Structure 1
Amino acid sequence: MTAALAPGQMLPTLTGLRGFAALAVLFYHIRGGMTGFLPDRVISVLAQGYLAVDLFFVLSGFVLWWTYGKEFRDRGVRAAPHFIVRRFARIFPLHLAVLSAMMLFAAALIVSGRDPGEHYSFAELPAHYLLVQNWGFSDRLAWNDPAWSISTEWAAYLLLAIAGGWLTRLPRGAWSFPLLIIAMAGGLGWWFAATGRASIGDDIPATGLVRCIVEFGIGILLCIWWTAQRERSHGAAIIYATALGLISAAAVLFGVVGSQPAAVPLIMTAVVILALQASTAPRPLLSGRIAIWLGDISYAVYLSHFFLWILFKLFFVDDPERVDPTMILAFTLMTLAAAHFLHIALEVPGRRIAQRVGDRLLAAPRTIVAAGHSES
């Protein structure tokens, strides 16, 4: 049996892991500019950076249940309004700011007589502002491409708000959850194969929502299972054996069955399990200042880098396919600096303001009811 952890207690390795995952997505999007100086095999590795999104989905499911699971257990569906306010405050302020900047950029192109192209479709803009663009309302990625995953997570949040109370009644058997996770991943792989898609990144507008909900759900189940196993006398052995088992199952699904979409969620789940165990060590992995800082600004890095790369190429790059290494470094440092500024000057203050406004709106009906009782 290991030392008890308080619900919502910081798990530093997860924070650091999130930061490096955001960098993986950044390099995935700018890899085309590095073909002039990096070997093809390195470019091929960077081309797998999109899989960091799958890690984000599993991490998000785990962290949200780690943070709000007790509230759902205690209050059931009554916890949903508070949960939605917190999630809205977390993702919308920065999303709205970056999207509005892109809208002004597209408008400037039009004013200057240039065609912004189909990527900046003003007809689709309302769906992007509401973060529902990847709910089947579009057949392509547009505007801020990485925001597709935030759109699907927003849907997952709403589903969790509805189902959170029910999830608290699920059993916590040592082996039932790993088997369920494997079944969910296998089902996802079957669905991809049945629809003629070989990669988990294929046709994101059509597959991204299902991909997110399954992996987000796996993250929730992992949190319920992991917290239960930590309380067992041989919990650590069960946890490490499960991580090894998931990796083995992923190898079979990918190497034998040939289903990458089924293997990816299992690999990411195993990575999160190992990160969780590292978080509880006396000296947690990825818990240094730089790693935690990267984790703290990861959302800003993720949401801003795509637009910043567009602007960087426009002003500083002659050939987008042959960018000088020093320029790549300059862009990376510029993005980190911009993300830091966005985090402290917009993301955090915007979250606090949105939370205060949301809390007041939630409190208003209770105030009215209380006033009515006092007058009767």
Structure 2
Amino acid sequence: MNTNNLGTKPHYQLLDGLRGVAAIIVVFFHLTEPLASSRLDNVVNHGYLAVDFFFLLSGFVIGYAYDDRWDRLTFSGFLRRRFERLQPLVVWGMTLGAIGFYFTDSTIWPLIHTVPVWKLIVVMLIGYTLLPIPLSMDIRGWQEMHPLNSVGWSLFFEYIANILYALGLRKLSNKALAFFAALAAAVLLHFAVTNPNGDVTGGWTLNVEHMRVGITRTIYPFFAGLLLSRVARPVSIKNAFLWCSLLLAAVLLMPRIGGADHLWLNGLYESFCIILVFPLIVYIGASGVVNTPSQRNICQFLGDLSYPLYMTHFVLVYFYVAWVSNHKGITLGQAWPYALLTFSGAIVLAYASLKWYDEPVRAWLRKKLK
């Protein structure tokens, strides 16, 4: 079936902008993380929750875009559209990671010196598919399922959620979907509160523990977002982008809750944010109105930049982490010029990737996949 006959719906411009805000905070999180002495004192302490926000936003957008189109859409047609949207930057991010791999020389990654070129190429080609590599194929030493571009793990779970939606969960009634989401929320809450780490981090290693974390982090927000797209009745809210951006930043920049003595409090905070605050932010964002051309341009720029930034920034972060690890004891006050340089480079790389690679490749794929 020619899925192009489906046409496109208007975007929620404010939600596009919020995706960009979250992506920027993710970059800051990855720049401050190597300077922290533990998970308790990172300056951007909850930046990793942006991934959970992405999952919820994705479920909302997928429901809005596809729920009423299945009389004209097949499973393969749906996957082709998702492939066209997601996969070009997956390939690009893995390629950039492979190009920079041998140049991220640091004692923190002793395996780099032992990796033959053929193995690097094999890992890169597997990375193109987003299939996770086994621990025996780890070439960096961080036990990542995608050691050339760490963030690929979340796209792996994004695809799982999309496939589950297309295979049948889209057919659930609103009541059944609400029950399913409530059950997933209970699982998420239990995991967050009882987890020995006191948080929901994880999902990037091919083992039972991380697969459980990845599924737990994906299922509730994605299908809660789907439910929200069905039942929410947006109203007109003034300055929604500003309020949503501030609330999202407050959630992600919040210092660690409870400290080392009460880890469960932090898990409670994170589950509260994922289960209640993130849906509220998406609802307010969906209710917002873009009132000025400047606001429209800001939201469009942030929305366009968000996915390329997320999928390419870690290529530069690897260099930054290597530099930090080679300067033991360096403080944020000493490292900020290099962090700012890395951040600026990530923005430039993302914009160049968008204009010179992602948009042209997606346009080519749209023609080829008709």
Asked if TM exceeds 0.5, the reply is yes
Q: CA deviation at 1:94?
A: 1.4
- In structure 2, the partner of 1:364 is none
Which runs of 5 or more residues in structure 1 are unaligned? 1-5, 238-242, 244-250, 360-376
CA distance in 2, matches of 1:269, 1:136: 35
- In structure 2, the partner of 1:140 is 143
- In structure 2, the partner of 1:349 is 360
- The structure-2 alpha-carbon separation of the partners of 1:311 and 1:125, relative to structure 1 and needing over 3 Å to count, comes to same
Q: Does 1:116 align with 2:112?
A: yes
Which runs of 5 or more residues in structure 2 are unaligned? 1-6, 238-243, 245-256, 258-262
Give 2:98's match in structure 1, choosing from 90, 97, 103.
Answer: 103
- The structure-2 alpha-carbon separation of the partners of 1:109 and 1:162, relative to structure 1 and needing over 3 Å to count, comes to same
| Contact preservation (8 Å) 2:290, 2:296 | no
Q: Could you list the per-position Cα deviations for residues 135-189 of structure 1 after superposition, in whole angstroms to 9, with x for gaps in the alignment?
A: 999893222111111111011111222126513x4359xxx94x76444312222
Q: Does 1:87 align with 2:82?
A: yes
Q: CA deviation at 1:221?
A: 0.9
CA distance in 1, matches of 2:132, 2:62: 23
Q: Does 1:219 align with 2:225?
A: yes
Aligned letter for 2:30? H
CA distance in 1, matches of 2:264, 2:103: 49
Q: Secondary structure at the match of 2:154?
A: helix
| Contact preservation (8 Å) 1:19, 1:292 | no
Q: CA deviation at 1:347?
A: 0.8
CA distance in 2, matches of 1:146, 1:225: 31
Please report the TM-score for the alignment, with normalisation by the length of structure 2.
0.71
Larger Rg: 1
CA distance in 2, matches of 1:183, 1:285: 42
Q: Does 1:46 align with 2:55?
A: no
Q: Does 1:268 align with 2:268?
A: no
- In structure 1, the partner of 2:167 is 162
Map residues 291-370 of structure 1 onto 2, 5 A cutoff.
291-311=299-319, 319=327, 321-322=330-331, 323-359=334-370
Q: CA deviation at 1:200?
A: 0.9
- In structure 2, the partner of 1:210 is 216
- In structure 1, the partner of 2:190 is 190
CA distance in 2, matches of 1:54, 1:166: 23
- The structure-2 alpha-carbon separation of the partners of 1:255 and 1:311, relative to structure 1 and needing over 3 Å to count, comes to closer
- In structure 2, the partner of 1:259 is 268
- In structure 2, the partner of 1:70 is 68
Aligned letter for 1:276? A
RMSD across aligned C-alpha pairs, in angstroms? 4.2
CA distance in 2, matches of 1:136, 1:216: 28
CA distance in 2, matches of 1:283, 1:225: 25
| Contact preservation (8 Å) 2:104, 2:319 | no
Aligned letter for 1:79? T
Identity, in percent, stands at 22
CA distance in 2, matches of 1:340, 1:330: 15
Q: Secondary structure at the match of 1:275?
A: helix
Map residues 278-293 of structure 1 onto 2, 5 A cutoff.
278=288, 281=289, 283=291, 287-293=295-301
